[in-house]
Chain A
Amino acid sequence: MTSPIAIVTDGSGAPVPGADGHPQERRLSVDATGALRTSGGGGGGGGSSGSVTAAGVNGTAAQAVQGINGGVPIEISGFEPNGQKLLVGTARDRFFDNFNSFDTTDTWELVQTGPGMSITGPLGGAAPGSGPYLNIASGVDVGKTIILSRSSFSLPVELRYQITASQRIAGSRLLVGFVQVDDSGAIITDTTYSTAPEVLDARNAVFHQHDGTTATTAQLRVRAAGGGTDQVANAFGTGFTTVAGGTAPNFLSATTYALLLERDKINSRAFGMNVLTNSGGQFSYDRLLVNPTRRYKVCIIIENDAVPASSTDWRLHLVNVMDATRFDVSARNAGNTDGAKAFPVWNVGGTTLITTATGGIAVTIAPLVQAETTTNLGANATFTGTTRDGGSTAVYATFNVLGISPQSGTVEVQMGTATPATFVCARQAVVANEPFQIKVPVTARYYRVVFINGATAMTGSAFMINSAFQRAS
């Protein structure tokens, strides 16, 4: 990777020429202590945390940043002070944890462990299809365990996670989502307008909250700008659950949950895994929007907000955070159907867009090249091809027919503004065993090919006709 380059300037911002008369360049890097360093000039020296150290312009000892920039801090686009890394996309790092271990050094920060709660594992992973998971026993005391990702993210970002629970019981809940953090990685709290202890008073926060006594319920909780927390209860639809498959301790997650934070909406999803039909549901939310220009960390909260009757094992199977830039094209409007959130598809060239009864969207694209026939014709018999639909929008330039016949005959192309196409727009005689082709400009939507055999019946396997719409080049 090539380091960023800074130009040495004087106090007024004007470049300071080197001995050769050209502007002096310095390569920038960050050392293990977090100090920004330069290299490439004469001299140079040790950086110090929190300051910028430049190579000395006099080629001797290290000098402070005043030496190259008049004391003005250098801002580097994409530099993430929290973690001292340069950003790529909206995610500082790829963040993925399927809990081969519980790494509280580089991956997670165990902010606090609630009273009576215990974290064990990873467990499981021994049976086919079962991965290891982190087990957090809720205990029966009021309190909460808080886990933060070490990495931070900016919008758009998508969190996908898999969890299961030994039971769903009143008083115990699991929240998974994002909280706003500052450059040091600490949660930014705000109680100016309201308090929101359920989301740690984070000024901006989005969570899925798995609570209550039903395995197939969850809710979206959103807090924006320190205002009152909003919630959408159980709008995922059906088909998802926190009930685990498998046998203890090799539990299997049955559902993948997804939380997509975009600049103009929040999309919540839950869908069954390894099923042929995408069970579950999704909805979009945009009444409150978290600030898309701020940074966020993944936050997991296991909380007993009241004394539960018994302890619950909350299991974390997977946490996967993805840069969602590619999704940030604002498909359509918010809504609770696939169609409401679908990307618009322009229906051209015989493409059929179908919204299926199960909520999915199937796209059938008619092949451009059609095998018309290879069926031998008797004497003076006729093959009439299927009428081909070039679409209501003019995207094709020509309709082409190619073929060969073991007997002489006549080939026609017929066109029409409706189906079947019946108006002859091209015709030519066919010589036996000589390839033939017709190319007609597309001036109507529908076309078909017709072949009239001569007086001799065909035999063998030499008869073939294909057709194709051809796009304008």
Chain B
Amino acid sequence: VINESIAYLTAANGERFQVLNEAGDDWDEAATRALYEASWLALPQPEPQE
């Protein structure tokens, strides 16, 4: 469940990523990044545009 008031990332396929800090009042950006990168890097990436 995403807390929409706190920062999150949305992958191109619409999947959203958010890891909150221990207090639950802000995002844990590093943990969110790790989760996101582990997920979107595994996805097929579009070809770079010229």
C-alpha spacing A385/B37, complex, angstroms? 18
Tell me the smallest distance from the CB of A401 to a CB of chain B, in Å.
Answer: 13
Which one of A383, A420, A454 lies within 8 Å of B9 (CB-CB)? A383
Tell me the smallest distance from the CB of B33 to a CB of chain A, in Å.
Answer: 4
Q: Is the CB of A381 within 8 A of B9?
A: yes
Q: Is the CB of B7 within 8 A of A381?
A: no
Interface size of B as a range: 20 to 34
- Residues of chain A contacted by B48 (CB below 8 angstroms): 455-456
C-alpha spacing A375/B36, complex, angstroms? 9
- Residues of chain A contacted by B29 (CB below 8 angstroms): 373-375
Q: Is the CB of A420 within 8 A of B12?
A: no
Q: Is the CB of B5 within 8 A of A455?
A: no
Which one of A374, A420, A454 lies within 8 Å of B5 (CB-CB)? A420
Q: Is the CB of B4 within 8 A of A383?
A: no
Q: Is the CB of B11 within 8 A of A386?
A: no
- Residues of chain A contacted by B27 (CB below 8 angstroms): 386
Tell me the smallest distance from the CB of B26 to a CB of chain A, in Å.
Answer: 7
Q: Is the CB of B5 within 8 A of A386?
A: yes
- For chain B, what secondary structure do more than half of its interface residues adopt (helix, strand, loop), or is it mixed? loop
Q: Is the CB of B43 within 8 A of A386?
A: no
Q: Is the CB of B33 within 8 A of A378?
A: no
Q: Interface size (A, Cβ < 8 Å)?
A: 22
Q: Is the CB of B10 within 8 A of A456?
A: no
Q: Is the CB of A385 within 8 A of B7?
A: yes
Q: Is the CB of B11 within 8 A of A378?
A: yes
Tell me the smallest distance from the CB of B44 to a CB of chain A, in Å.
Answer: 10
CB-contacts of B9-32 with A (<8 A): 9-12, 26-27, 29, 32
- Residues of chain A contacted by B40 (CB below 8 angstroms): 378, 381
Known contacts A381-B40, A386-B27, A420-B4; is-contact A375 B46 (Cβ 8 Å): no
Q: Is the CB of B45 within 8 A of A457?
A: yes
C-alpha spacing A201/B29, complex, angstroms? 69
Known contacts A373-B29, A386-B27; is-contact A378 B7 (Cβ 8 Å): no
Known contacts A380-B12, A384-B10; is-contact A375 B33 (Cβ 8 Å): yes
C-alpha spacing A389/B26, complex, angstroms? 13
Known contacts A455-B46, A456-B48; is-contact A379 B26 (Cβ 8 Å): no
C-alpha spacing A91/B29, complex, angstroms? 55
Q: Is the CB of B12 within 8 A of A381?
A: yes
Q: Is the CB of A386 within 8 A of B7?
A: yes
Tell me the smallest distance from the CB of A418 to a CB of chain B, in Å.
Answer: 9
Q: Is the CB of B4 within 8 A of A381?
A: no
- Residues of chain A contacted by B8 (CB below 8 angstroms): 384
21 contacts across the A-B interface (CB closer than 8 A): A373-B7, A374-B29, A375-B9, A375-B29, A375-B32, A375-B36, A376-B33, A378-B41, A379-B45, A380-B46, A381-B9, A381-B11, A382-B9, A384-B9, A384-B10, A386-B27, A387-B5, A419-B5, A455-B46, A455-B49, A457-B45
Interface residues of A (CB under 8 A from B): 372-387, 419-420, 454-457
